[in-house]
Structure 1
Amino acid sequence: MSGRIQQSKEPKLEDKMLTEVAWEVCNQVGGIYTVIRSKAPVMVDKWKDNYLLLGPKINSNVSSDFEPDPYSNSPIAQVARELREMGWDVEFGTWLVSGRPQTVLLNPHSVMHELGNIKYYYWQNHHIEFSHHDSLIDEVMAFGYMVHEFLSRFARVCLEQGVELLAHFHEWMAGTAIPDIRREQIPIKTIFTTHATLLGRYLAMNDPYFYDHLPYLNWETEARNFNVDTIARLERACAHGANVLTTVSEVTAKECVHLLGRSPEAILPNGLNIDRFSVVHEVQNLHHRYKEQINHFVMGHFFQSYSFDLDNVIYFFTSGRFEFKNKGYDLTLEALARLNHKMKEQNVNKTVVMFFVTKQPFHSINQEVMTSRAVMEEIDHNCESIMQQLKRRLFEAAAVNSDHRLPILNELVDDYWKLRYRRTIQSWKSDRLPSVVTHNLINDGNDQVLSYLRSANLLNYESDKVKIVYHPDFISSTSPLFGMDYGQFVRGCHMGIFPSYYEPWGYTPVECLARGVSAVTSDLSGFGDYVKGLPMGDEEHGLYMIERANQDYDTAAEQLSEKMLTFVMSSSRKRIETRNKAEDLSEAFDWVNLIKHYEHAYDLACEKFPIEN
């Protein structure tokens, strides 16, 4: 479609039409949301009005992310209108993100009265049982039913106008319409992308030799063991029903072969809209600005107990979903304990502060942490008041005195402020160790991070060269502890640590590089495996690779600790040079460069499965 189709008196579709279906359109859950959202500007630029997104209308914030267009006369809007006339909650409009893609939202709850029939016919046609109640599966099946009906009607419109309709489904939650499209021979080219196999995620968390055992696993047995038999069968039905199967990395492709029983025809690496991160020559200035804000937090957290030189502090962090083994938190903790020992042994005159930023259930923020920060803010307020008084009286002294020497500054401050300053500091100082966790966890005794820290005695002693801050909540500008958003926090750090054991792709290292921050990844992550083939994928450009594919845990931990130590010992000038080069590496992951892989998958679907008009 060229131009805005709703402006046409007799709307016409042209050439090819691409519809992407994802559970995370206008519904932020995980990484697929970033994929769809960041890719949208490039897709709209390429496909214009021949590009459409389908998603579920379930997010409470949808009204702020989506702008309905009830007056459109486009073929897409007309199909949506037909479904509304059936009593379904369907809206056509625009997703308010960069690129402003056309979007149709389908509310699965509007067809829940049909759920019994939906499941029955799915069982009858595809032999998948729904013996256990699961609210997510209910929503997914209802959504898939609506997607099937929408695409079936839209396919007829496309066929009448000689247009090839492609439908690209992301993950099983969006793909349940695929088996029926295949069974009914609806003229749609279907592409299915698995971003991570369900069983792969479960198995990797529970099997330390997952990759060695992968070729010998029985998917049905494992699905029953983990009580995910229905979802595993839905995922396989999507993979086998699609005309073209794709995944995000070669690492996950191996899982597809053994756990889904089909080899992907194309690899679709994930990218970012790098323009959104670009700040031209401001990388170093922004790093310094946000590092100062992190310094402020660190002073409030640690300096009531003891102090260290903030000019010689290196900030490491890791972040993401809490999967202790899959995300490499276990390996990171072991490497930090070794790094602490090495820095003490070599008497390194630096301090490492490591932030674990993830999501875990908690009651509240630790009261001691909040109190310490509040008292430090009071000290800051006192200092500001003293400075104002000092400035005014110093100026007055300069104006009236014939003596050109600097007066004794202490005598220019009122006793009230001297006393308040001294008492506030006295009330702040403490003999307690700074807490390793900022919040009161619901399951403190069984938390895996805390259990390791206690067993390793890595508890923020003054003698420790490595300090730990475990923040079991995502950082945002409304956070009372940091007062900055996640992107600003990342820019203020020196290195992100992501030595994943199981990671189909992994956005966090790419986001670091795009912000000029060095990152650690592993060759078991999709990103790490992909970047090995890039000429700039090296430490000079801020990318540190941990080899986990053919190494045991102990060797990988030692390798990570050595790379951390190398980074800590590097000069400030070296880190600045690396910061600038990291941005260059991130350009390789701009969607402008990676969209060719998607185009290849679409061409493959059209070549292998031509539709006869």
Structure 2
Amino acid sequence: MNTNQTIPDYIFESSWEVCNKVGGIYAVLSTRANTLQKKFKDRIIFIGPDCWQEKTCPYFKEDLSLFPDWRNEAEKDGLRIRTGRWAIPGNPIAILVDFNIYYKDKNTIYTQLWEDFKVDSLHAYGDYDEASMFSYAAAKVVESFYNKYLGKEDKVIYHGNEWMTGLGLLYIKKHLPQIATIFTTHATSIGRSIAGNNKPLYDYLFAYNGDQMAEELNVQSKHSIEKQTAHNVDCFTTVSEITGKECEELLDKPADVILPNGFEDDFIPKGAFFTKKRAAARKKALQVANALLGTQLDDDTLIVSTSGRYEFRNKGVDVYIEALNRLLRDNGMKKTVVAFIEVPGWCGEPRQDLIERLESGKKYDTPLDVPMITHWLHNMSHDNVLGMLKYLDMQNRNEDKVKLIFLPCYLDGNDGILNIPYYDIILGNDLCIYPSYYEPWGYTPLEAIAFKVPCITTDLAGFGLWANAEKGRYCEIEDGVKVVHRTDYNYSEVADRIKETIIKFSNFTPAEVNKARSNAYKLSKKALWKEFIENYYIAYDFALNKAEQRKNNLN
């Protein structure tokens, strides 16, 4: 941290994903926490939703010795909280808050929000109410804690992630103006909606009116809270330059600071343990493939995968399938490829016929019915992945050089088929492919290269742009990351580039493969939090200086 920067005394950070593993923001916060905990030892306090109530939360360890006097007072004032520690490296303090008690006051809260900041909550639906009540409760936690322990001489930050924390940030701005506020949007709600609704986002970005598009796509309330929060906090941030442009055009507010998403590699196995785990992951992946397909694929098989949220177009799942379809029909591919789609769908149950084959230990020469999926779905006839495979006639026939398998479940180690967690599975891949159309940063390719797995991504992902910037040119697969140029309209070209890259990689000598794997790992080292955390210190300084100016003006 620069010696001239203002250093916060306390940082409160809230997110729907604190102690609640539902998406990529969990990875951002949980890996960054250790770095901040070392710097601010128990003066960084995370606030999350108490979604678990009476059930045990695997990510949270309750600790009744933390702030017992404040907790008792807060409960008398109607706050229902649990204090403890987040079960991640650094074990930072976490406070889980029950937000359900505020639903009865919802209309009053929304009316006040309109009067104070012109936030439109009239068109709210889905998760808007749930997120807003949590955000309000989180702000009440900060207010209560501040009034108990802190004062105007303390330099305090309140940092909210995503639109879900907007209401609380605006509450703090009104009721505790001495606290500096930071808002990070990891993706704009309207940008994600434009992309997800098959509209061209990038060529027309300059021409879109965010408010008008929010009305057209029925996301007025999310857009409204996001926009007003961006305009009213002391420091507005986002995660990449590409999302920064999106914010400037769609929220009419450029980011004050860019906060790229870093990574910690403390859970990546080392040496012989890494080799052993990689071998085990490959063995398991091939066992599942062979049992499902009735094949005898060996370790010389090229294992590739894509993963992430089930956003069929935004995450590039569609172009991934198309690239493999073209690879299937290309005579230049000599190796057999088994390609996994590790994207949680509307998952039903693990296939009993597949479990029986796996448990038998026998070899089979006939495929199971529907030999492209490991778990039954609730919507088999309306699933995008299965629909596209059917349309392209990709049936995993015995003679096919390319086999594609859909793993539509959370890989938490208890899925019933693989039973290996995602981080243990990923290191068994030869190549990972993330051809995103809409990707503000991109944790999945960063995770892949940290596990020494070369990957393919695009220059519409913040990570892809960062990788290019590090190299000073477009990255090639020899660098450990291949960055494909992607636009609103070059879907077919992207599919061809991916196909060509897979063929090129499959023809690498063992020495060339090892070089690519080594380069991937080296690049991941440049994205560790110790490299990126300085951006957060800049944001803290920026926000605290704004708060200080406000205090001086009030005096």
Tell me the secondary structure at the aligned position of residue 42 of structure 1: helix
Q: What do the CA deviations read for 1:316-355 (whole angstroms, capped 9, x no partner)?
A: 011111111101011111111111222xx23x43100000
Counterpart CA distance in 1 for 2:350 and 2:59 is: 30
Residues 1:315 and 2:300 are matched in the alignment: no
- Shift of the 146–429 alpha-carbon distance from structure 1 to 2, 3 Å rule, reads closer
Residues 1:68 and 2:62 are matched in the alignment: yes
> Which one of 221, 229, 248 corresponds to residue 220 of structure 2?
229
- Shift of the 239–59 alpha-carbon distance from structure 1 to 2, 3 Å rule, reads farther
Residues 1:269 and 2:285 are matched in the alignment: no
Residues 1:603 and 2:513 are matched in the alignment: no
> Which one of 575, 592, 596 corresponds to residue 513 of structure 2?
575
Counterpart CA distance in 2 for 1:180 and 1:87 is: 17
Letter in 1 for 2:282: K
Counterpart CA distance in 1 for 2:210 and 2:379 is: 32
Counterpart CA distance in 1 for 2:481 and 2:221 is: 40
Counterpart CA distance in 1 for 2:435 and 2:37 is: 34
Letter in 2 for 1:603: D
Q: What residue number does 1:421 align with? A: none
> Which one of 510, 520, 524 corresponds to residue 456 of structure 2?
520
Q: What residue number does 1:415 align with? A: none
Q: What residue number does 1:35 align with? A: 28
Q: What residue number does 1:23 align with? A: 16
Contact 2:438 / 2:460 at 8 angstroms: preserved in 1?
yes
Q: What do the CA deviations read for 1:51-109 (whole angstroms, capped 9, x no partner)?
A: 11122212355544333343445xxx654443211132023332222111122222101
Q: What residue number does 2:73 align with? A: 82
Q: What residue number does 2:396 align with? A: 460
> Which one of 155, 164, 180 corresponds to residue 164 of structure 1?
155
Contact 2:350 / 2:415 at 8 angstroms: preserved in 1?
no
Residues 1:293 and 2:284 are matched in the alignment: yes
Q: What residue number does 1:241 align with? A: 232
Q: What do the CA deviations read for 1:145-194 (whole angstroms, capped 9, x no partner)?
A: 33333333444567636211111111111221222333446201111000
Deviates more, 1:204-213 or 1:232-241: 204-213
Q: What do the CA deviations read for 1:558-583 (whole angstroms, capped 9, x no partner)?
A: 11111111111112332233323322
Q: What residue number does 1:181 align with? A: 172
Q: What residue number does 2:52 align with? A: 59
Q: CA deviation at 1:429?
A: 4.1
TM-score, structure 1 as length reference: 0.83
Q: What residue number does 1:389 align with? A: none
Q: What do the CA deviations read for 1:491-547 (whole angstroms, capped 9, x no partner)?
A: 111111101000111111111111111111111011111111113965334211111
Letter in 2 for 1:160: G
Deviates more, 1:594-603 or 1:171-180: 171-180
Counterpart CA distance in 1 for 2:353 and 2:140 is: 56
Letter in 2 for 1:313: T
Unaligned runs of 5+ in 2: 1-6
Q: What residue number does 1:444 align with? A: 380
Letter in 1 for 2:324: L
Tell me the secondary structure at the aligned position of residue 441 of structure 2: coil
Letter in 2 for 1:339: L
Letter in 1 for 2:325: A
Count of residue correspondences? 542
Contact 1:27 / 1:62 at 8 angstroms: preserved in 2?
no
- Shift of the 431–261 alpha-carbon distance from structure 1 to 2, 3 Å rule, reads closer
Contact 2:480 / 2:517 at 8 angstroms: preserved in 1?
yes
Contact 2:412 / 2:421 at 8 angstroms: preserved in 1?
yes
Q: CA deviation at 1:245?
A: 0.5
Tell me the secondary structure at the aligned position of residue 51 of structure 2: coil
Give the helix-richer structure, 1 or 2.
Answer: 1
Q: What residue number does 2:336 align with? A: 351
Unaligned runs of 5+ in 1: 1-13, 380-424
Counterpart CA distance in 2 for 1:227 and 1:529 is: 31
Residues 1:331 and 2:316 are matched in the alignment: no
Counterpart CA distance in 2 for 1:571 and 1:100 is: 44
Contact 1:152 / 1:186 at 8 angstroms: preserved in 2?
no
Residues 1:566 and 2:504 are matched in the alignment: yes
User: What is the correspondence of 1:466-481 to structure 2 with a 5 Å cutoff?
Assistant: 466-481=402-417
Q: CA deviation at 1:132?
A: 5.2
Counterpart CA distance in 1 for 2:378 and 2:16 is: 30
Percentage identity across aligned positions? 30
Tell me the secondary structure at the aligned position of residue 193 of structure 1: strand
Counterpart CA distance in 1 for 2:316 and 2:125 is: 30
Counterpart CA distance in 1 for 2:178 and 2:239 is: 26
Counterpart CA distance in 2 for 1:64 and 1:445 is: 35
Tell me the secondary structure at the aligned position of residue 187 of structure 2: coil
- Shift of the 156–282 alpha-carbon distance from structure 1 to 2, 3 Å rule, reads same
Contact 2:234 / 2:542 at 8 angstroms: preserved in 1?
no
Q: CA deviation at 1:593?
A: 1.4
- Shift of the 312–242 alpha-carbon distance from structure 1 to 2, 3 Å rule, reads same
Tell me the secondary structure at the aligned position of residue 74 of structure 2: helix
Q: What residue number does 1:92 align with? A: 83
Deviates more, 1:503-512 or 1:213-222: 213-222
Contact 2:16 / 2:164 at 8 angstroms: preserved in 1?
yes
Please report the RMSD computed on the Cα atoms of aligned residues, expressed in angstroms. 2.5
Counterpart CA distance in 1 for 2:163 and 2:43 is: 24
Contact 1:26 / 1:62 at 8 angstroms: preserved in 2?
no
Counterpart CA distance in 2 for 1:58 and 1:163 is: 31
